[in-house]
Amino acid sequence: MNTFQLSVVTSLSLLPAWTAHGEVPLTYEKVEVLHEDVLNESQWVVEQMPGGMVNFNGKSIEIDDSRGCTVWFKHRQSGPVLIEFEATMIKAGGPNDNARDLNCFWMAIDPMHPTDIFANDKRTGRFPTYDSLRLYYVGYGGHRNTQTRFRRYNGLGERPLLPQHDLSRPEYMITPNQAKRIQIVVIGNRTQYIRDGEVIFDFTDPQPYREGWFAFRTVSNHMTIRDFKVTRLAPTSGIDADPPLMPLGGYADGYSVHQISAGNAPAMHSYIDICPESPDGSKIAYFEFENNVPGWGYVVVANRDGSEPKRISERIKGHDHDGARQQWIDNGRIIYGIGDDQHSEIYSLKDKSRRLVEGEIGMVSEEHGFGLTHNNYPKSRYHDSDRKPPEVSLMNLKDGTARPLLNKSQMLPLHPKRDLINAPQYLGHGSVQASQMVPGRIPVLLGVHARVEGNRKEAREVRSSIGPERRHHPLRIGSRSASDVAF
């Protein structure tokens, strides 16, 4: 996992601030050949409109296309990497010998199927069916060999074209029957498209695409591909191979990002459902890791701008999703887990005192002064009669006690998928995954997670409100190796 620092975005933009980056030389070493001698049918997936042909003979790929074709390399790639090949556009009198559209996608991801780009069977080879992908694209000699363009697809159907990425001079067009060596470099937040040693596009992306699939792309064209190779790179100058996800500083659209955690230590404010700010907005709380994530560290309180940070906890273990799940009870008190799955600690900023309370905190209700916790009674700690059904408990933050609120047996009758969860083959898999406070007369959102072995690929969420008690029951299904049922 990359190290990171807690940062704040002061306003929001839908598109990154793209930067042309041709003035700084990019040098690198070739470390390891990842793929070579792979021009056989078993290594590629063809998506082609009717009327075309793709032939593999082990030494080359021949594409003779009429209405649109994409040929995907099956293996997902990640940077820093060099993808290279030799391409020849054939013009010898054939019906598709038009010497045009030497195109390619790289670092492509389908946002609907981010772990498997081939899960979507709706793509046909017709160009618009790829608009929803997130990728880098070069159309070399497109529009009947009159335009050469670079685009960054954002996964939302938008394919912005910058003026400096729209080339029309003759030297950037295709020469028929002449082999061209194409190299694509991806290192950190920088990618290059190189033709016969000349950098045609050199692009720095503040929100880079660091991994994904590669594909050849063409239409109404006849071409051959040879000498395809993928090589791991190590940069020697010109780029940080592992830049921050969002570089600090100002952005073109008027917003800025600055660090608010201290030093270079990895930091995390908590999970997405917890606000790091105190109720009055004057302070923040976050978890500062010593080194590894997850790992040992401290709960830290600082001013809203990150100044005057103070460690308020003893050295405790933090999780990779939510640190110690630290959160504000009010403007003067913070609660956080201490890593034993059974207790939490409340710290007072006023007198710097600490006291233990029963239960590992899930979420605090500032309105009611209670907390939620859960216990899954794992086999590693509880045995035989001591092991109860997974349950959610209400934490009294005043006297430090916790009492059971609901257990799995009581929650199951409310769940729309109770028949599935109660099936004999899945009994014993259910466990409490999340317990959260929501506004209302019964201020509780209950989450239970059941891991069900299978290979379902769909992913969806169902939320329902049942009866006057307003208990909400989210349902999620889907993963590559298992189906996850939460309620």
Predicted confidence band at 446 (pLDDT cuts at 50, 70, 90)? very low
Three-state SS string across 214-244, please? Answer: EEEEECCEEEEEEEEEEEEEEEEECCCCCCC
78 forms beta bridges with 211
Percent of the chain with pLDDT over 90: 54
Residue 392: partners with Cβ closer than 8 Å, 6 or more residues away: 372, 373, 374, 404, 405, 406, 407, 432, 435, 444, 446
Residues 471 and 486: beta-carbon distance below 8 Å: no
pLDDT higher than threshold 80 for residue 466: no
Highest mean pLDDT among 136-140, 340-344, 398-402: 136-140
Between 207 and 454, residue with greater pLDDT: 207
d(CA 122, CA 129): 8
Question: For position 429, what pLDDT does the model report?
Answer: 62
pLDDT higher than threshold 50 for residue 473: no
Residues 460 and 476: beta-carbon distance below 8 Å: yes
Closest CA to 204 of 255, 157, 149, 165: 165
Question: For position 396, what pLDDT does the model report?
Answer: 92
Residues 478 and 456: beta-carbon distance below 8 Å: yes
Question: For position 426, what pLDDT does the model report?
Answer: 67
Question: For position 100, what pLDDT does the model report?
Answer: 96
Question: For position 193, what pLDDT does the model report?
Answer: 97
DSSP assignment of 153-175, as one string? EESSS-----GGGEE-SGGGSPP
Q: Which fold has domain 9-237?
A: Jelly Rolls (2.60.120)
Q: Write out the H or E segment, with its range, that includes residue 250.
A: strand 249-250
d(CA 148, CA 166): 6
Start-to-end Cα distance in the chain: 29
pLDDT higher than threshold 70 for residue 199: yes
369: DSSP letter: T
Residues 220 and 100: beta-carbon distance below 8 Å: yes
Question: For position 251, what pLDDT does the model report?
Answer: 66
Q: How many CB atoms lie within 10 A of CB 455?
A: 9
DSSP assignment of 305-365, as one string? TS-S-EE-S-SEEEBTTTBT--EEEETTEEEEE-SSSSEEEEEETTT--EEEEES---EEE
Mean pLDDT in residue range 377-406: 84
Closest CA to 207 of 12, 446, 487: 12
Predicted confidence band at 148 (pLDDT cuts at 50, 70, 90)? very high
Percent of the chain with pLDDT over 70: 81
Between 140 and 121, residue with greater pLDDT: 140
Predicted confidence band at 299 (pLDDT cuts at 50, 70, 90)? very high
Mean pLDDT in residue range 82-86: 98
Question: For position 246, what pLDDT does the model report?
Answer: 64
**Virtual CA dihedral for 356, 357, 360, 364, nearest 10 degrees?**
-120
Kindly report the average pLDDT of the chain as a whole number: 81
pLDDT higher than threshold 80 for residue 99: yes
Residues 429 and 453: beta-carbon distance below 8 Å: no
Residues 190 and 201: beta-carbon distance below 8 Å: no
pLDDT higher than threshold 90 for residue 254: no
d(CA 482, CA 27): 43
What confidence tens digit (pLDDT) does each residue in 340-373 have?
888 999 999 999 999 999 999 988 887 778 899 9
Q: How many CB atoms lie within 10 A of CB 149?
A: 20
Amino acid at 163: P
6: DSSP letter: -
Residue 179: how many CA atoms within 13 Å on its side-chain side?
9
Residue burial 150-189, b: 16+ Cβ < 10 Å; e: rest: bbbbbbeeeeeeeeebeeeeeeebbebeeebebbbbbbbb
Mean pLDDT in residue range 29-52: 96
pLDDT higher than threshold 90 for residue 451: no
pLDDT higher than threshold 80 for residue 447: no
Predicted confidence band at 132 (pLDDT cuts at 50, 70, 90)? very high
d(CA 16, CA 162): 12
Q: Say what the pTM is.
A: 0.58
Question: For position 236, what pLDDT does the model report?
Answer: 86
Domain boundaries, the chain: 9-237
- Cα 52 off chain centre by: 36
What confidence tens digit (pLDDT) does each residue in 304-339 have?
888 999 999 999 999 888 899 999 999 999 999 998
- For residue 457, give Cα distances in angstroms to 115, 116, 211, 422: 10, 10, 21, 21
Amino acid at 102: L
Question: For position 452, what pLDDT does the model report?
Answer: 34
- Cα 265 off chain centre by: 22
SS3 370: strand
What confidence tens digit (pLDDT) does each residue in 410-442 have?
877 877 877 877 777 766 666 677 777 766 544
Closest CA to 211 of 189, 228, 195: 189
Q: Token pair of 393, please?
A: 């408990």
Q: How many CB atoms lie within 10 A of CB 145?
A: 20
Question: For position 271, what pLDDT does the model report?
Answer: 77
